[in-house]
Amino acid sequence: MDLDLRQLLPLVIIGGSFAFTGTILYGAWLLGRYKGREDRAPAELAEVQERLHRLEHVVDHAANAIERLEAAHQITARMLSESPDASRSRQRPTTPH
């Protein structure tokens, strides 16, 4: 069987044109599919930034509350350790019955 390359030329041209057309159509479909996502991105980014700002505010508020509780605990512990009546408060109180 003698195969001449000129006989394959129409097959290569037709196959190549179909592949080229398919590639162009697929690329156009992909571009259309992702169109408009960039328009939504700034609004979503602003929403995420707002949520992050609120989260930072809540964390700062909680940290300040914990610092106040720690200071109150230290003051209470110091007052209890320095109190002269600390030994009497440990004794059982006498109740009139």
Digit-coded pLDDT (tens) for 21-62 = 999 999 998 888 877 666 667 778 888 999 999 999 999 999
- Quick one: CA torsion of 29, 34, 39, 42, rounded to 10 degrees? -170
CA angle centred on 36, ends 35 and 40, rounded to 5°: 150
The tokens for 31 are: 């571009």
**53 vs 93, higher pLDDT:** 53
Contact 86, 80 (CB under 8 A): yes
In three-state secondary structure terms, 4 is coil
Contact 46, 40 (CB under 8 A): no
pTM, to two decimals: 0.43
**Residues 14-23: tens digit of each pLDDT:** 999 999 999 9
